[in-house]
């Protein structure tokens, strides 16, 4: 990012302070925008994201700390500099912990404001180069750089290019760690909504009682403890993209409310009497096959059909192994730079082991394995540096039996589907018995993430 002409949003209820800061910023070669309260600032952020934010702490209505909290949910890399007349050590620590880049106290020295601002912009540029070498745009070469050169990735890139120019709702399906959020981000960045926010929501991480308030927001006084209004994710993502990760984890009741919002293109904050129009593009991701879940009644069919205007399936890493050496080298180079090491590459036996392994955790697991291997090695990564030995599960042995004559009145596909469910449930029961009910240990043994384990146990009513 070129700092010349960088856009700075100034938020302060004192108009004289805003005028002063705006003059300082423009003299330094930056562009300035001004908001006099927190709600206006959040609205401006939804319309166009700045390059940095100068934010007063004490303001009527939504204060600076709440604005900071909401900004970090939408744009975690946006540098926020808090300015207050009530500076103290405790306040500084709280600000930094909440994600502020720095903390200035009124009355501030004019050159210090510009120095801190320049440092914040430089740090943001460095972080972008480190984690996205090709910049923030997701051009074809960038997406290929992050996913690999295989034919499967080429197909995904073509599908991203095709659907990004529309406003279709998209379902991205793939196993955990395969790159669903990366592909979803690419759809956003190549769309006409790229200047708007990309707002991710982990549907499996929100308690069921808080889902509505998180998605739709609430008014002051809507419930006990609601001492100020809060924007929901739909409002936060205005003119941008709302990314619902692991949407299969949404309870059926919440699915019904989400469907109503999508059909009406309007949502109502908790405690509000009037709905407001929404303007977002929806991308949903799942590590489950939503078509099968809808057929089984686990996911609402009507919501599935509303979401499924276009589907992108990401194959697991074991089905595109030609990407493994490329990704391994990429992760090695990044880790070398991070650790200031010069590990040259991989031994032949090491590459054979990488190819032979099944990678249940997909690209995310490969990245972790390579990072650890680079840390342990000196000149060359060998097989002994790889932590990919599959642990056997003692006592897990059974032979599923076919009861009666299941082929009568049922097609083969349905017989197989029911049989797979039976086998999966039996495996989960035996592993849970083996671990004494320890879900985390069971997830490690089965080489799946804890959230997936929790979802499956809930799906099969395994206590």
Q: What is the pLDDT of residues 181-230, one digit of tens each?
A: 999 999 999 998 988 899 999 988 888 778 888 888 888 877 777 778 88
Residues 6+ apart with CB under 8 A from 209: none
Please name each of the domains of the chain with its CATH number: 7-131 (3.40.50.2300), 140-313 (3.40.50.300), 317-385 (1.10.8.60), 393-463 (1.10.10)
Q: What is the pLDDT of residues 157-189, one digit of tens each?
A: 989 999 998 999 999 999 999 999 999 999 999
Would you state the structure tokens that stand for residue 210, as one six-digit string? 């808080």
Q: What is the pLDDT of residues 280-320, one digit of tens each?
A: 999 999 998 999 899 988 899 999 999 999 999 999 998 88
Q: What is the pLDDT of residues 355-413, one digit of tens each?
A: 888 899 999 999 999 999 999 999 899 999 998 865 455 555 555 555 445 555 667 77
State which of 47-61, 162-176, 438-452 shows the largest mean pLDDT: 162-176
43: left (phi over 0), alpha (psi -120 to 50) or beta: alpha
Q: What is the pLDDT of residues 403-414, one digit of tens each?
A: 445 555 667 777
Question: Do 299 and 255 form a contact (C-beta atoms < 8 A)?
Answer: yes
For residues 335-340, give the mean pLDDT. 92
Q: 281-286 and 310-313: which strand pairing?
A: unpaired
Given CA atoms 174, 179, 183, 188 in this order, what sign does their dihedral have?
positive
Confirm whether pTM is higher than 0.75: no
Q: Say how far apart CA 217 and CA 213 lie, in whole Å.
A: 5
- Three-state secondary-structure class, residue 405: coil
Question: Do 82 and 124 form a contact (C-beta atoms < 8 A)?
Answer: no
pLDDT at position 1: 44
Residue 233 to residues 205, 210, 211: CA-CA distances in angstroms? 14, 12, 10
The helix or strand, by DSSP H or E, that contains position 10, with its residue range, turns out to be: strand 7-11
Would you state the structure tokens that stand for residue 285, as one six-digit string? 């991701």
pLDDT at position 128: 55
Give backbone dihedrals phi and psi of 268, rounded to 5 degrees, phi first: -125, 125
Q: Say how far apart CA 198 and CA 77 lie, in whole Å.
A: 12
- Three-state secondary-structure class, residue 53: strand
Question: Please, which contacts does 261-268 make with residues 24 or more away whose CB atoms are closer than 8 Å?
Answer: 261/215, 261/216, 261/234, 262/169, 262/303, 262/306, 262/307, 263/306, 267/215, 267/216, 267/232, 267/234, 267/235, 268/216
Question: Tokens 């180069």 identify what position?
Answer: 129
The mean pLDDT of the chain is 83
Give backbone dihedrals phi and psi of 344, rounded to 5 degrees, phi first: -80, -35
Cα radius of gyration rounded to whole Å, the chain = 25
β-partners of residue 242 are 199, 282
Measure the CA angle with vertex 189, ends 185 and 38; round to 5°.
Answer: 85
Residue 382 to residues 102, 345, 373: CA-CA distances in angstroms? 43, 9, 8
């Amino acid at each position: 990012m070129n700092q010349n002409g960088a856009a700075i949003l100034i938020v302060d209820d004192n108009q004289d302070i805003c005028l002063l800061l705006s003059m300082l910023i423009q003299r330094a070669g930056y562009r300035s925008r001004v908001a006099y309260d927190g709600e206006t600032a959040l609205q401006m952020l939804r319309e166009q994201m700045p390059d940095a934010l100068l934010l007063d702490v004490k303001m009527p209505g939504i204060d600076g700390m709440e604005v900071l909290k909401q900004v970090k949910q939408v744009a975690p890399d946006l540098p926020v500099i808090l300015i207050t007349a009530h500076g103290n050590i405790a306040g500084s620590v709280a600000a930094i912990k909440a994600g502020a880049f720095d903390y200035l106290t009124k009355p501030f020295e004019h050159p210090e404001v510009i120095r801190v601002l320049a440092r914040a912009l430089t740090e943001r540029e460095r972080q972008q180069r480190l984690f996205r070498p090709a910049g923030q745009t997701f051009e074809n070469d960038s997406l290929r750089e992050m996913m690999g050169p295989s034919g499967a990735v080429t197909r995904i890139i073509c599908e991203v290019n095709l659907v990004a120019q529309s406003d279709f709702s998209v379902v991205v399906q793939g196993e955990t760690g395969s790159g669903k959020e990366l592909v979803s981000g690419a759809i956003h960045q190549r769309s006409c909504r790229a200047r708007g926010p990309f707002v991710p929501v982990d549907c499996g991480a929100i308690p069921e009682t808080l889902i509505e308030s998180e998605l739709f927001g609430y008014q002051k006084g809507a419930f006990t403890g609601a001492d100020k209004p809060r924007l929901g994710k739909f409002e936060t993502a205005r003119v941008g993209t709302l990314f619902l990760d692991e949407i299969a984890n949404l309870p059926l009741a919440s699915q019904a409310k989400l469907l109503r919002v999508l059909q009406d293109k309007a949502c109502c904050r908790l405690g509000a009497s009037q709905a407001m129009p929404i303007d977002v593009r929806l991308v949903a991701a799942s590590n489950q096959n939503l078509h099968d879940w809808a057929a089984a009644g686990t996911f609402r069919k009507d919501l599935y059909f509303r979401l499924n205007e276009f589907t992108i399936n990401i194959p697991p890493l074991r089905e595109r192994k030609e990407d493994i050496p490329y990704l391994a080298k990429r992760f090695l180079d990044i880790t070398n730079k991070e650790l200031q090491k010069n590990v040259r590459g991989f031994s032949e036996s090491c590459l054979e082991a990488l190819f032979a392994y099944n990678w249940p955790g997909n690209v995310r697991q490969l990245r972790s394995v390579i990072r650890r291997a680079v840390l342990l090695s000196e000149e060359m990564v060998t097989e002994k540096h790889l932590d990919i030995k599959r642990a056997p599960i003692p006592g897990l042995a059974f032979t599923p039996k076919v009861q009666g004559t299941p082929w009568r009145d049922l097609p083969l596909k349905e017989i197989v589907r029911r049989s797979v469910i039976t086998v999966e449930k039996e495996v989960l029961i035996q592993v849970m018995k083996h671990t004494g009910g320890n879900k985390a240990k069971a997830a490690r043994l089965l080489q799946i993430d804890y959230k997936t384990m929790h979802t499956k146990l809930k799906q099969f009513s395994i206590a």
